[in-house]
Amino acid sequence: MTKELKIVVLAKQVPDTRNVGKDAMKEDGTVNRAALPAIFNPEDLNALEQALRLKDRYAGSTITILTMGPARAAEIIREGLFRGADNGYLLTDRAFAGADTLATSYALAMAIRKIGDYDIIIGGRQAIDGDTAQVGPQVAEKLGLTQITYAEEIVKIEDDRITVKRHIPGGIETVEGPLPIVITVNGSAAACRPRNAKLVQKYKYAKTQTEKAENQLKYADLYKNRDYLNLAEWNVNDVKGDIAQCGLSGSPTKVKAIQNIVFQAKESKTITSADKEIEDLIVELLNNHTIG
């Protein structure tokens, strides 16, 4: 079968919470985004790799990166292009700011509708800044599509049905679903391939309109002759969004209070290397579900 797949990868730019330094949080308990490098959400990279593998396997397939965020989130689209995506859209508007998962999935779903032609919508299971794992499933619901979550590997696509291995507690489950479909990918899936030198050289000057307007534009001629260097930005109107359902106003989630948690060891226990003591410790940890 040589199906040419249209794949949309949902990707988010997130603060790198894996490398938290002492300035990571502000005094009011919110994330100090300036102190953390902005990165491609790790599980979204796993999702991109699954998309790229489909593109390797089914010649003629295309990958579109869809990301929502401020102007600098265009970096996510470039990162996608560097690895083999074909194009991308940055969903950016003040009206999208402050969105919870419901408003985010609304905006993404509207953008996907505008993209129109798609077989697979694939993203990471969750983002490392919010850890909700809600956006993928909500997008599926809003678009009325089947969803497969916790995917680890796409096995095959045959007769418009997709077979996916998903990660479940204690094992792997193989499931099948109809196209078009929404898939969220688990971090245990294959790591994303490196950036490709030729694609980096091809796309390194790719910019959105906002970025082009920011500083003195180097190589201005290139943007006239090489259209693929012009990255598309969409605002609320472009995706025919209802402002009431976007951003803060579309977000029923309210943060009531934020507490700063400092982990402290309150009690300690000394055990020797005797077999019996080690065994007791294992039993204790199993019983209180720390392990197992």
Partner 1 sequence: MANFYTDNKDMQFHLTHPLMKKIVELKEKNFEDKDKFDYAPVDFDDTMDSYHKTLEIIGEICGEIIAANAESVDHEGPKHENSRVIYAEGTQQNHEALQKAGVYGISLPREYGGLNFAMVPYVMAAELVSRADAGFANIWGLQDCAETIHEFASKEIQDEYLPRIPKGDTCSMDLTEPDAGSDLQSVQLKATFDETQNRWFLNGVKRFITNGDAHIKLVLARSEEGTKDGRGLSYFVCDNNHDDKILVRRIENKLGIKGSPTCELVFRNVPAKLVGERKLGLIKYVMSLMNGARLGVAAQSIGLSEAAYREALKYANERAQFGKEIINFPAVYELLVTMKARLQAARSLLYETSRFVDIYKAYNLISNERKLTPEEREEHKEYQRLSDIYTPILKLFASEYANQLAYDAIQIHGGSGFMKDYLVERLYRDARILNIYEGTSQLQVVAAIRGVTTGAYLNKIRKYEANLTAPELATMKEQLATLTADYEKAVTLVIEIKNQEYLDFHARRLVEMAGHIIMSYLLLLDAQRNNEYAKIAGVYIKLAAAWNEERFNYIKSLKFEDIENFKSVI
| CA 24 to each of CA 94, 129, 255: distance values in angstroms, whole numbers, following the listed order | 24, 12, 19
Q: Which stretch binds partner 1 (CB under 8 A): 119-127, 152-160, 190-198, 232-240?
A: 190-198
Does the footprint of partner 1 cover residue 53 (CB under 8 A)? Answer: no
User: What residues between 213 and 252 interact with partner 1 by CB under 8 A?
Assistant: 219, 222, 226, 228
CA 202 to chain centre: 24
Report which DSSP code applies to 191: P
Does the footprint of partner 1 cover residue 195 (CB under 8 A)? Answer: yes
Are the CB atoms for 156 and 4 separated by under 8 Å? Answer: no
In the block, tokens 């796993």 appear at 46
Binding residue for partner 1, selected from 57, 114, 142, 202, defined by CB under 8 A: 202
Q: Which stretch binds partner 1 (CB under 8 A): 176-184, 200-208, 247-255, 264-272?
A: 200-208
| CA 73 to each of CA 111, 160, 251, 257: distance values in angstroms, whole numbers, following the listed order | 16, 33, 21, 28
Cα–Cα dist 19/38, whole Å: 11
Are the CB atoms for 193 and 83 separated by under 8 Å? Answer: yes
Cα–Cα dist 48/209, whole Å: 25
Backbone dihedral region of 131: left (phi > 0), alpha (psi from -120 to 50 degrees) or beta?
Answer: left
- Site size toward partner 1 (CB under 8 A) is 15
User: Could you tell me the smallest distance in angstroms from the CB atom of residue 263 to partner 1?
Assistant: 25
Does the footprint of partner 1 cover residue 193 (CB under 8 A)? Answer: yes
Binding residue for partner 1, selected from 133, 200, 217, 232, defined by CB under 8 A: 200
- Contact flags string 147-186 toward partner 1, x per CB under 8 A: ----------------------------------------
Binding residue for partner 1, selected from 25, 38, 179, 199, defined by CB under 8 A: 199
Chain contacts with partner 1 (rule: CB under 8 A): 193-202, 204, 219, 222, 226, 228
